[in-house]
Amino acid sequence: MPRPHVHVNVAMSLDGKLDTAARNGAPISSVPDRARVDRLRAGVDAVLVGGRTLLAENPGLTVKSLALRQERKALGQPENPIKVGVVSEIGPDDLPADGAFLAGGPAEVFLFTSGRTPRKVVARLESARARVVVNGKTRPKLETVLETLYQAGVRKVLVEGGGTILAEFFRFGLVDEVSAYIAPCLFGGATAPTLADGPGLLPEEYSRLRLVSVEKFDEQGGILVHYTIPS
């Protein structure tokens, strides 16, 4: 089954952390990097995040620049890419209807969840105009997520985290390219989230990355690296 092109993008510390061990949203990106991410969002059909990021941060995932939104509209595209959340369980108080993820936009919203999410919650989210796909008994299957998005017309997906879902994308060989802004800071902490969390990858599960570019990106000393993953 065909799937969309998957581009993973993160901002991380020099030691590969996406946040501190406190997981309180430590600032990592610089102003130029945030503008770069906005351009990436404007160039894809969907932006995807995993459950921890979705429920803890309730992100808007929209294109911030008016000029970029207008460019999308001039090309016959929606103002914002589709927002996609992949989360094993959604509780009654999660994702309020007036929150950034559901209400920020305008944008189409897809939510992939498992049978652990109560039917009443599914109904509430659907009443907030989210397209909810219940997929799997305990956790959504990423292959099905990508197949469903492809069938909905999505050809390019930007995956923005967090570390748990990124690890699954890598483990199943579902990543085509990776961009990482590396900030000039160290977070440390064995429990701090990384680019690929979880139990780790076995030798037969990981792929060699092909370096495309490395550049000093901003005056703060940040570095931008870009890799592709050969098929």
For residues 207 and 44, the model is more confident at: 44
In total, the chain counts a number of residues equal to 231
- The SS3 call for residue 82 is strand
Given a cut of 80, whether residue 205 has pLDDT beyond it is no
The domain spanning residue 14 has which CATH number?
3.40.430.10
pLDDT value of residue 161 = 86
Q: Which residue has 């890598």 as its token pair?
A: 170
pLDDT value of residue 26 = 87
Contact between 114 and 133 under an 8 Å Cβ cutoff? The reply is no
Residue 86's nearest CA partner among 145, 7, 44 is: 145
pLDDT value of residue 157 = 98
% residues pLDDT > 70 (the chain): 100
Total domain count, the chain? 1
Averaged pLDDT for residues 181-201:
92
Given a cut of 90, whether residue 24 has pLDDT beyond it is no
Given a cut of 80, whether residue 216 has pLDDT beyond it is yes
Averaged pLDDT for residues 180-184:
97
- Structural domain span for residue 92: 5-228
pLDDT value of residue 225 = 98
Averaged pLDDT for residues 89-117:
96
Q: Which residue has 């429990």 as its token pair?
A: 191
pLDDT value of residue 231 = 79
Of the listed ranges 23-27, 145-149, 172-176, the one predicted with least confidence: 23-27
Alpha carbon dihedral 93, 94, 98, 100, in 10-degree steps, equals 160
63, burial (CB in 10 Å: exposed 0-12, middle 13-18, buried 19+): buried
Given a cut of 80, whether residue 43 has pLDDT beyond it is yes
Averaged pLDDT for residues 10-17:
96
pLDDT value of residue 200 = 86
Contact between 38 and 65 under an 8 Å Cβ cutoff? The reply is yes
Q: How many CA atoms lie within 13 A of 215 on its CB side?
A: 9
Contact between 177 and 193 under an 8 Å Cβ cutoff? The reply is no
Write out pLDDT tens, residues 44-56: 999 999 999 999 9
pLDDT value of residue 23 = 87
CA–CA gap between residue 159 and residue 18 (Å, rounded): 14
The band of 145, judged by pLDDT with boundaries at 50, 70 and 90, is very high
Strands 210-216 and 223-228: antiparallel
